[in-house]
Amino acid sequence: MRISERRIVGLIGPNGAGKTTLINNISGLDHPTSGTIRLEGNEIHNLPPHRISGLGIARTYQNIRLFGEMTVLENLLISQHGRGRASVLDSLVFTPHFRAEERRLRDTAMQLLERFHLAGMAHQLAGNLPYGDQRRLEMARALATGPKLLLLDEPTAGMNPIETEQLGQQILRLRDEQLTVLVIEHDMSLIHQVCDEVYVLNFGQIIAHGTPEAIKHNPLVIEAYLGREEENELAVGERKG
């Protein structure tokens, strides 16, 4: 599997296919038992998460992991700690350089909150936000680290169609800003909206790779995943009826 720069790449597959496991390996939460993971040609699969984050990889989680007892703004500020240019001495003495750096990071955080329509909630506790806003905050927090590669694990889970489309526009904007994105998603409308290419994973094996349109009509994918999703949707519809 190869992810080229400034591309939005989708990863789809049935539950249990290994999608989140792959992201966990890329981000350093887990380590592969075989194979290698490279970033810009350098092997990273044995590095701890903080080293991988420092190299420019950020992620969101399928289950939201915000600091619920901190404010929305504080969630972004704490994510920027590795981007500060002030020294330890600057912070201890509270030098003008340190104060200027604090203002710069705060301004950057507020710009991200404005971008995700969260600026008016900056001083609210993150844990008190509605679910959709928490999803947006988690993405903003990942971007606050200044990544080269952003890993999104089901970023629209629990969102309504309008919220999903709006988040899709934000993801498309990332490509315009020269970021590279890997997105795991069950919502095929989002995959079609944002992805340049899609990989399909089934039981730990890549069974297809191509454009969203090509994947949609791939017989292997239909059998392993898309057909199953349609059956599930039909079953849900029958139960509701």
**pLDDT tens-digit readout, 69-113:** 999 999 999 988 755 454 434 444 456 666 777 888 899 999 999
Give pTM, 2 decimals: 0.84
Mean per-residue pLDDT for 168-195?
94
Q: Which residue has the higher pLDDT, 233 or 70?
A: 70
Residue at token pair 């190869």: 2
**pLDDT tens-digit readout, 25-65:** 999 999 999 999 999 999 999 999 999 999 999 999 988 99
User: How far is residue 140 CA from its own chain's centroid?
Assistant: 9
Assign 42 to helix, strand or coil. Answer: strand
Model pLDDT, residue 237: 36
Model pLDDT, residue 227: 63
Model pLDDT, residue 236: 34
φ, ψ for residue 153, nearest 5 deg: -100, 100
Distance CA 66, CA 142 (A): 11
Model pLDDT, residue 101: 76
Looking only at Cα atoms, what is the longest distance across the chain? 67
Distance CA 215, CA 217 (A): 5
Model pLDDT, residue 224: 79
Q: Which domains does the chain have, with CATH numbers?
A: 8-66+132-240 (3.40.50.300)
Number of residues written out for the chain: 241
**pLDDT tens-digit readout, 107-166:** 999 999 999 999 999 999 999 999 999 999 999 999 999 999 999 999 999 999 999 999
